Copies of this chain bind each other. A is one copy, B any other.
Amino acid sequence: MTTVDIPRTVAGTDPRTGLTLRPAVAETRPATVAQIIEAAEAVAPELAALGRGGRAALLRGLADAIEARRSDLVTIADSETALGAPRLGSEITRTAFQLRFFADVLDEGSYLEATIDTAADTPTGPRPDLRRLLVPIGPVAVFGASNFPFAFSVPGGDTASALAAGSPVVVKAHGSHPGTSQLVYEILAAGLRSAGAPAETIGIVFGRAAGETLVSHPAIRAVGFTGSLSGGRALLEAIGRRDEPIPFYGELSSLNPLVVSAAAAAERAEQIGGAVIRSVTGSAGQLCTKPGLLLVPAGADGDQLVAAAASALGNAPVVPLLNDRIHRSYVHDTAVLAAAPGVLEVARASREAESGFHVGALLVTADAPDVPSVVFDEYFGPAAVIIRYRTTDELMRVLKSAPASLTATLHTGSGETPAELVTALGRVAGRIVFDGYPTGVSVSWAQHHGGPWPATNSFHTSVGATAIRRFLRPLTWQNAPQGLLPVELRDGSVDIPRRIDGAIHLPRTGTPRVL
């Protein structure tokens, strides 16, 4: 008797119909996962040897390669995510921009933190020549996100920043878009070969079991993850079982409180009420920075804001949710929310009858100070909770009870400068947004996309220049001969900023400016 070992598969689902898409992709077997990781580890020296210039050219080549296949990518991603061609097209633009941005970060070079202390006498005795640089940590595991099939998935910010750092990447494709993941992986692999880099620099694996194998493998040196709190907890536990702990850069859950001051409500209730709902319902509310907890003053101005929001919610175009799990959670959890004592439903767009994973947007209110704890859960989808507060003290108490977030937003009246409130918001978030909306996370030098637990579990960011820091480690050379130092640490002129004996020196070829 023989048994036939039929591999399990990962298939996408059309969110508009709920029907399974073909072809399915095979789950990656544990032995294959290990081979992919070990191949990535083996080529790590080659990636490092490309140097900053070589890796910058590589990243720009990958950006070009993705943009050249924009139409194919949008088509397959839309079939698997239903996010729509405009949003997916702009996500490809963002993804290419990120890759090119990290090429700029490499060109500029201060991410290396090159530091030279020349030999000297000190109060503690003679100091040797010490030279410090950040070096690649080695192969990195990246978990694709359901809600960004490009920008936070196979070719996303984690991959871009890890490659920039000089660390190979093995991506665990998200089950919501296996076809998109496979296609974009093939484009990247071809791009690597065109740039003269080993194709093994980026690997891809499919299936939940492959993800656990991935984070458990001793050659993996860090994990980048964007997903649910429960998924993140499970990976943290798998990491905890390793012989050697490794950093877990997780982005897990975020309420993103948005506070409207009494003066702001008095000045522009209508405008804020409409705009905040666009932020809540964009991409069907499936954004990690969706403002899910709105703090609005009690009274007539606040009432007007709530009415404007309720009206906007009814008219908001809402695409179907990404997958069955998110759909079921949203339907179940928002039903619990709306039925909770102390919670009042103020608007609901009734789309439950439609096919696939369509849902209705939902807006509820509760009155401070004694709000039910259910308002502090994240509802991934087009739902928001409005808390009505009467006093600053009530507002502060609600903020203190809420979990920490990626962002906190404050709308103020003209001339209003509530320093104490801003300090309180800064304690529970990684980014404070003034008189705006937290969705839309610019890729730039000063961006921070992180926050205290459970927003993320670290002090690092997954968006912006400093995301590269996650995939580097410091190394110091003591009394090294010039020839054995990395070029960035040698004597003489270099093309990057360096700290020498405590003072920053700018490169002659750069654009040194004194403010």
Contacts and interface: CB of A to CB of B under 8 A. Distances in A.
Contacts of A116: 446
A141 to B, nearest CB: 16
Contacts of A478: 431-434, 436
A333 to B, nearest CB: 21
A430 B472 CA distance: 12
A131 to B, nearest CB: 6
Contacts of A448: 132, 474-476
Nearest to A248: B245
Nearest to A436: B479
A245 B432 contact: no
Contacts of A405: none
Interface in A406-425: 417, 419, 422-423
Contacts of A476: 430-432, 446-448
B459 A137 contact: yes
Interface in A52-107: 90, 93-94, 96-97, 104
A450 interface: yes
A398 to B, nearest CB: 19
Contacts of A110: 499, 504
B498 A505 contact: no
Interface string A421-464: 01100100111111110001011111110101110011101001
Contact of A479 (B117, B435, B481, B515): B435
A511 interface: yes
Given A245-B236, A447-B132, A459-B137, A500 B515 contact: yes
A470 to B, nearest CB: 9
A290 to B, nearest CB: 16
A93 to B, nearest CB: 6
A477 B502 CA distance: 28
Interface string A219-255: 0000000000000000010001000111100000000
A458 B514 CA distance: 35
A335 interface: no
Given A419-B484, A466-B474, A247 B459 contact: yes
A260 interface: no
Interface stretch (A119-127, A192-200, A371-379): A119-127
A200 to B, nearest CB: 19
A135 interface: yes
A108 interface: yes
Interface string A483-515: 110000000011001111111111110111111
A115 interface: yes
A130 interface: yes
A128 interface: yes
A413 B511 CA distance: 42
A480 interface: yes
B500 A505 contact: no
A8 interface: no
A351 interface: no
Given A447-B130, A476-B431, A94 B422 contact: no
A473 interface: yes
Contact of A514 (B434, B443, B512): B512
B503 A513 contact: yes
B123 A93 contact: yes
Contacts of A132: 445-448, 464, 466
Given A419-B484, A459-B137, A476-B446, A510 B503 contact: yes
Contacts of A475: 426, 429-432, 448
Contacts of A508: 514-515
A244 B454 contact: yes
Contacts of A466: 113, 132, 474
Contacts of A433: 478-479
B457 A502 contact: no
Interface string A44-58: 010000000000000
B506 A504 contact: yes
A358 to B, nearest CB: 28
Interface of A: 45, 90, 93-94, 96-97, 104, 108, 110, 113, 115-117, 122-125, 127-128, 130-132, 135, 137, 236, 240, 244-247, 417, 419, 422-423, 426, 429-436, 440, 442-448, 450, 452-454, 457-459, 461, 464, 466, 472-481, 483-484, 493-494, 497-508, 510-515
Nearest first, the 4 A-B pairs at minimum CB distance are: A448-B476, A132-B446, A130-B446, A115-B446
